[in-house]
Structure 1
Amino acid sequence: MQPTDHSNIRLLKEIAELLNEGTELKPMLEGALRKFLGGTNFETGWIFFINGKGKHELLAHDNLPEALSYNKCQFLEKGGCWCLSKYRNQELKKASNIIECQRLESAASANVGDCARITHHATVPLQSGKERFGLLNVASPNTIRFTNDELALLESVAFQMGSAIKRILLTKQEQELALVQERNRLARDLHDSVNQLLFSVTLTSRGGEEMTDQVEIKETFKEIQNLTQEALTEMRALIWQLRPKGLESGLMEAVKGYAEMLGLQLKVKVTGVLQLPSRIEETLFRLTQEALNNIRKHAGVKKAEIFVTITNRDVLLVIKDEGRGFQVDSLVNLPSFGLRSMKDRTTSLGGTIDWVSEIGKGTEILIRLPY
């Protein structure tokens, strides 16, 4: 039975309240989709996020039939379809009935589970103003066409979702800007206070060494100088991590500058066009920072090599040295906090990281990030 106009208004109000309270994109959309399906004749649904290159990501879904949820939703995650093609070609402007669905047909023909008599779906773009984010698809058993009223309701919900998505993305941008500003403040404070104090200790110890003729005291002052110089290098590295100089001029320039600051000779080779999203670029820089720090502290060498290969889907970063190496027993029990941090950074973006290392045979780090 089709919900009344009053029921639709109440449903849209409840969905709006849910979306306004959401602070995380995925659970917010999952909750809104579940609420929408529960109050309409639509029984299953899924949401695609689509980036500027047209690559789609299955961000949310609810009540999928067995065939569509098979093997982590492989028929939704991979391949192309009519609605994605229309979306990429700017031909999908409003809620529309889909005559055929390649994904549903593929799932049915694969004979991997029950399709729950779902053969067609409706689709609507998720957008806010002229900014587009992806698609909302919904379906019901034994239904090949939805009414104009149902499509109008679907369009209303998509508008609400698009506005909520825009709000969360703007909030995240503001949070990232605030984080950058806080990093810059900490970097300035460290440079103006601790860094200057360490430099003063170096000068004082150098003066103390020159004022005495006693060998033991001279050696003590020399040791103070050495320790302070090491602390200065650590402090400069920390300041770089908070506020990387040169990243605005490109990833490789920033990496070369950081290696030079650490006193490392760096060989760099790039294959492909290095035009990456800012989040991927900064993550690659942070990962390289940690790797170069480890080389300086533990490898016992002053040389390193970096290879970057960019495809239209991912970027491969390889960092090599011919130093002491270490025994990689398990990626679960990594040998240092730095390596665990590298793994966490990589996996948080859906990437992979592997280490190849043996005692006395150097270390090779292989990082692959999708974008």
Structure 2
Amino acid sequence: MSIETGYEEISILKEIAELLNEGTDTNAVLSGVLKRLLHVTGLQTGWIFLIDENGSHQLAADEALPPALANDDKQRMCQGKCWCVNKYNNRQLNKASNIMECKRIEDAIAENAGETCGLTHHATVPLRAGQERFGILNVGSPNKTHFQKNELALLEAVAFQIGTALKRIKLTQREQETALVAERNRLARDLHDSVNQLLFSLSLTARAGVEMTPNDEVKQTFSYMQDLAQEALGEMRALIWQLRPRGLENGLVSALKSYADMLGLSIETKVTGVASISGKVEEALWRIGQEALANCKKHSQTTEVVLFFHAASDGVLMTIKDGGCGFHYDQNHTIPSLGLKNMKTRTEALSGTFQITSKPGSGTEIQIHIPF
């Protein structure tokens, strides 16, 4: 490698590093870096697959895909298997590979799915930071069937930078989640120590007023104040529970039982299976369970609730069912309430499925399945 070439590669790595250090949104960062990498290297096409622990890939960034790969909203890139992903999952891809024929391109040609623009091969580089792996970087150009050693070395250096940036983003997101939990705990403590105590004092004062005054009208006023204070206390306790779920450290089911008791519901629990649940999944199920139990309290006209919880190695299933009044629900129509929509959104954010079953007079059942 000449000194001039060395300086050029160092300049490229510096430019890529600056881009990687600027953002915290994974897809935006990867898209920007991929576009810049292709520009400075003179390559034309590239894409990045993020691959999870189960071997499932996600198209996180792409640039200048030929029509054969870009048609149908890039479905050919989002589904199915290919040689580079298989090699990655089988741990046969540990460094930049020169060169792989592209199975997705071959399949597109066989199916006459569109123009390939001369792209037949691509270089493949794993994205990793230390022992932690994140996915693969693929780059190529029309009619290019060979990469030089220095080209592969540059791609490998860039891939290491991307892997390090992905780890940084992951750690940053985890820190933000931890900070959010800490802030919720602080707010819950403040509400308990200030507003909650004030409402309790107001309730006691109103009760004393009822006992001290001989005037019936004044008694009714104080009694009304006491009722309002008690209602506000109940709402405040529910809010504090939502901010800081005391008892979650003893498990999700235990926390939901305690929350149901606080609402005045009688809950029967059935738990099967054994599996470790991540904090993110547990938090989502906790919020969904809270909303479901609150709906039972407000709308079902019953205090009897059943909670089914099954944890397995590939996912968790939670069902909350009441035998109350129910309501008319058609799965082909929009979900009728904001609370139910929020539950569905939380579930689908974790690639889960959310299902409601309800009929007038037959109660309501909410089922949530979240895969691992």
TM range (shorter): 0.7 to 0.9
- Structure 1 residues 229-238 or 105-114, which shifts more? 105-114
Aligned to 1:279: 280
Does residue 93 of structure 1 match 2:94? yes
Which string of whole-angstrom CA distances, capped at 9 and with x for unpartnered residues, describes residues 119-154 of structure 1?
332211112223222211222233333221211111
| Structure 1 residue ranges without an equivalent (≥5) | none
Tell me the secondary structure at the aligned position of residue 21 of structure 2.
Answer: helix
Which string of whole-angstrom CA distances, capped at 9 and with x for unpartnered residues, describes residues 74-93 of structure 1?
33333334333433344322
Distance in 1, Cα, partners of 2:291 & 2:332: 17
CA 1:59–1:332: 2 relative to 1, 3 Å: farther
Distance in 2, Cα, partners of 1:229 & 1:328: 34
Aligned to 1:299: 300
Distance in 2, Cα, partners of 1:123 & 1:250: 43
Which string of whole-angstrom CA distances, capped at 9 and with x for unpartnered residues, describes residues 2-33 of structure 1?
x9555433333322222121121111101101
Distance in 2, Cα, partners of 1:276 & 1:214: 59
Aligned amino acid, residue 241 of structure 2: W
Which string of whole-angstrom CA distances, capped at 9 and with x for unpartnered residues, describes residues 282-311 of structure 1?
111111111111221222221223334556
Which string of whole-angstrom CA distances, capped at 9 and with x for unpartnered residues, describes residues 11-61 of structure 1?
333222221211211111011011111222432222222223333322222
The 5 Å alignment of 1:54-133 reads 54-133=55-134
Aligned amino acid, residue 135 of structure 2: G
Aligned amino acid, residue 200 of structure 1: S
Aligned amino acid, residue 281 of structure 1: E
Aligned to 2:184: 183
Aligned amino acid, residue 181 of structure 2: V
Distance in 2, Cα, partners of 1:103 & 1:257: 52
Tell me the secondary structure at the aligned position of residue 121 of structure 1.
Answer: strand
Which string of whole-angstrom CA distances, capped at 9 and with x for unpartnered residues, describes residues 91-128 of structure 1?
32211125444444333333322333333322111122
Distance in 2, Cα, partners of 1:214 & 1:277: 59
Shift of 1:257: 2.0
- Structure 1 residues 182-191 or 301-310, which shifts more? 301-310
Asked if structure 1 preserves the Cα contact closer than 8 Å seen for 2:51 and 2:58, the reply is: yes
Aligned to 2:349: 348
Which string of whole-angstrom CA distances, capped at 9 and with x for unpartnered residues, describes residues 199-224 of structure 1?
22232333333335655555544443
Q: How high is the sequence identity, in percent, across the aligned residues? A: 55
Asked if structure 1 preserves the Cα contact closer than 8 Å seen for 2:96 and 2:123, the reply is: yes
Tell me the secondary structure at the aligned position of residue 55 of structure 2.
Answer: coil
- Structure 1 residues 293-302 or 283-292, which shifts more? 293-302
Asked if structure 1 preserves the Cα contact closer than 8 Å seen for 2:275 and 2:312, the reply is: no
Aligned to 1:239: 240
CA 1:12–1:339: 2 relative to 1, 3 Å: same
Aligned amino acid, residue 189 of structure 1: D
Aligned to 1:155: 156
Asked if structure 1 preserves the Cα contact closer than 8 Å seen for 2:356 and 2:367, the reply is: yes
Distance in 1, Cα, partners of 2:332 & 2:157: 47
Asked if structure 1 preserves the Cα contact closer than 8 Å seen for 2:49 and 2:59, the reply is: yes
Asked if structure 2 preserves the Cα contact closer than 8 Å seen for 1:50 and 1:57, the reply is: yes
Aligned to 1:144: 145
Distance in 2, Cα, partners of 1:99 & 1:244: 51
Distance in 1, Cα, partners of 2:88 & 2:36: 25
Tell me the secondary structure at the aligned position of residue 54 of structure 1.
Answer: coil
Q: How many corresponding residue pairs?
A: 369
Asked if structure 1 preserves the Cα contact closer than 8 Å seen for 2:27 and 2:61, the reply is: yes
Shift of 1:316: 4.0
Does residue 338 of structure 1 match 2:339? yes
CA 1:289–1:162: 2 relative to 1, 3 Å: same
- Structure 1 residues 17-26 or 63-72, which shifts more? 63-72
Asked if structure 1 preserves the Cα contact closer than 8 Å seen for 2:20 and 2:33, the reply is: yes
The 5 Å alignment of 1:154-233 reads 154-212=155-213, 217-233=218-234
Aligned amino acid, residue 229 of structure 2: T
Asked if structure 2 preserves the Cα contact closer than 8 Å seen for 1:44 and 1:64, the reply is: yes
Distance in 2, Cα, partners of 1:24 & 1:284: 25
Aligned to 2:29: 28
Tell me the secondary structure at the aligned position of residue 141 of structure 1.
Answer: coil
CA 1:165–1:294: 2 relative to 1, 3 Å: same
Aligned amino acid, residue 302 of structure 1: T
Distance in 1, Cα, partners of 2:99 & 2:248: 46
Tell me the secondary structure at the aligned position of residue 207 of structure 2.
Answer: helix
CA 1:106–1:284: 2 relative to 1, 3 Å: farther
Asked if structure 2 preserves the Cα contact closer than 8 Å seen for 1:75 and 1:106, the reply is: no
- Structure 1 residues 23-32 or 325-334, which shifts more? 325-334
CA 1:23–1:335: 2 relative to 1, 3 Å: same
Aligned amino acid, residue 347 of structure 2: T
| Structure 2 residue ranges without an equivalent (≥5) | none
Which string of whole-angstrom CA distances, capped at 9 and with x for unpartnered residues, describes residues 288-339 of structure 1?
1111112212222212233345566554433322333345578886544433
